Amino acid sequence: MKTLNPQHMQARITTEHLRWAQSVHKALDGGVDMGVPTGKNSAGVYNTFDTGNSSGVLIRVGAVGSTEKYSWSSSSTVDIKHNLARQPIGFKIVDKDNTVDVWRTALPTATDIQLKTSSNMVNVTLYIF
């Protein structure tokens, strides 16, 4: 199904409605994405992301002592500010550099999710949704 690009309506509708219409247009044309990579770490792995048009966020969690925005503590835990403005349903590991398991240690809130890992020496990218 192809949709008509809403850009031609720019002069007739508010900016908020135009953004909404463009997002719907992009999704219907097969453009759903989880996030857009915006940076890489020194190893060449994507570690920063802009929010895509889905209802989650991509977050990179580095090994203990790493320079990533989030990293596992020496007790293998991390508290992530996800900015979803709602309680997340859950999370998925979308990238890892070794065998690892990750689980939540408390009920997530509208602002935070607390996670623990089986190894604090593993780097992971999580999709929190």
SS3 of residue 92 by DSSP: strand
Q: What is the CA radius of gyration of the chain?
A: 18
| First-to-last C-alpha distance (Å) of the chain | 27
pLDDT tens, position by position, 55-114: 899 999 999 999 999 999 999 999 999 999 999 999 999 999 999 999 999 999 999 999
- Distance from C-alpha of 100 to C-alpha of 45, rounded to nearest angstrom: 18
User: What is residue 2's predicted lDDT score, i.e. its pLDDT?
Assistant: 58
pTM greater than 0.85: no
Q: Where are the domains of the chain?
A: 1-32, 35-128
Q: Residue 76: which region, alpha, beta or left (left: phi > 0; alpha: psi -120 to 50)?
A: left
Sequence-distant (≥ 6) Cβ neighbours of residue 8 within 8 angstroms = none
